[in-house]
Structure 1
Amino acid sequence: MSHPLRLSKLIDWQSVLSEIDSVVEPCRGQGRVADYIPALAAIDPMKFGLAVALGDGNVHTLGDADEAFSIQSISKVFTLSMGLRKVGELLWKSVGREPSGSPFNSIVQLELERGIPRNPLINAGAIVVTDHLVEQQGADAMIAELIDRMRTLADDPSINVDQAVAHSESEAGSRNRALAYFMKSFGNLRNPVEETLKAYFSHCAIAMNCRQLARAALFLAYDGTDPVSGIQMVSSEACRRINAVMMSCGHYDNSGDFAYRIGLPGKSGVGGGILAVAPGHGTIAVWSPGLNAAGTSEVGSLALETLIQQTGWSVFV
């Protein structure tokens, strides 16, 4: 059953965005820009953008919402949706769905749990999901299909992989290679490591702006079907499962605090982006490059917390 449009029509978005702007403005620049990926290290920490996409197709924006940034781990939500669509329940034999309680690139649990990553939103889990997709069609075709999906969902043909960022990630990718080879030693990676990582680094390096990202994820707020185009991207059951994993695992060892403060399924990326899903209402994409200790945008989290206070969109209300 599709979600109805509820509070969205009653909200004074100009007032909401004005309040977010007043709260965020004195905090701009807080947090630490990710510097372990050289291509991200030079991003201006003062940048801030926000977009809210609604089920009727309207998008409300604030700040640098039309400036592209590297979505990084937010891409894992879209590869997970592809994986569930193409592989189905068999995917869960290779990756769990429990919170890790550890940093996004930790290798400790992999040894204890014999190469099965805790969930598909940490690096190891996303590499496994990517491996399943690469097995079906190869790295280049997999990325081409993913980009085509993103362009269709966002209704914007300009979305693409930032090749400079992908190259930078590969050059700095020793930890991800260690994770991949470790999983392969347990038989939980089926393709050559470099083939799978080529696709993984590429989808993490997709460049999008807040407007595009919020619009592309709108199907997650409406039982797997884009409410504007009517295209079903995943089944309603798969959509619920993606949102559940986002709620419990979307921010690594910061997931509990994010649920406490914001109360929406979400996914952060070290590029400073956060995607949040308000079922039945819409999706929010926010970008501010400065990260907290867990790798989640510090100012972006503040903006989302303010938006929830103004709209009451928490799933716990």
Structure 2
Amino acid sequence: MDHSEGQLTETQLKDFSTTIPVGQHYDYEVTANDRIQLTAGLRYENTTYDYQNKLSVGSACAIEVENCRFSRPADQEVNFDEWSYQLNANYVLSQEQRLYVNYSKGYRPPQVTELFRLQAGQKIAELDAEKINSVELGIRGEIYHLFYDLTAFAMQKNNLIFQDTNRQNISHGETSHQGIELAVHYQWSDFYASFNGTLAKHKYATSLTLSRVNIQNNEIDTAPEHMGSMQVGWRSDNQKFLELEWVHQGNYYLNPENTADYRGHNLLNLRAGMEIANQLSINARITNLTNEEYAERADFGFGQHRYFVGEPLSIYLTVNYSF
């Protein structure tokens, strides 16, 4: 990143001629920025798993038991060599606004449990690293006291690792992800307001064997289409503050078939704090102000909804003392 500032003042103390007069000739400042900036990054990583089984190989059940849930693979060493990279361009529209575009390729090697914690008679998991290609296009800037950042993105994930309907770990899935993200912050004197939100579509790009029906183009389960938060508050120079927060969790499907869903929820949180003496401060927060019944996470299995219940209205008080 390059930034430079310069100024010039030129003054003539005595008269010389009509074409070279006495007095100030120039007085100006110049700020120079690169109008377009390009950056690139490249990364190589080798991951090696040296797996040693300390129990018997194969089924964990008695010999006469068929369809044993647990299966232990033999000793093995698994290697993953992966490259990732990122390209970024920034274009300065004005002193307060700029456009940016990012293109990146990322990866995730299989987890240890995906490779070696096998089930249903699977003897070896021949898995590839998950890979994702993404592109982002956005604009960010500031107008008076308002900062904003708007981004549109599209991503394609390949070699998605999942457990199929036969409880086998495989990695030939594909998913697609498109959406927009918005961040806004307004500051006026001691008062401020902020908003962050996402609107996106997350879909299965192929018909994975997560289900016995075709799920291609279905929305990915437990992936909300919209979510966000807003904060409105006041903070003084003497460390007093008061903030009200709204948190929104959109609805989402609970199964790949998209036949069951969670309605989403909205929560209100309140925070306050003040310094009551030198080195001594007190903070209070009330979460779930309206005592909303909600789920931190929800899913669907064995024909039933399952909810991981969120906390009810709760009050917390913290006292801090700095030595």
What TM-score does the superposition give when structure 1 sets the normalisation length?
0.20
Larger radius of gyration: 2
Higher RCO, 1 vs 2 (CA within 8 Å, ≥6 residues apart):
1
What TM-score does the superposition give when structure 2 sets the normalisation length?
0.20
Greater per-residue helix proportion: 1
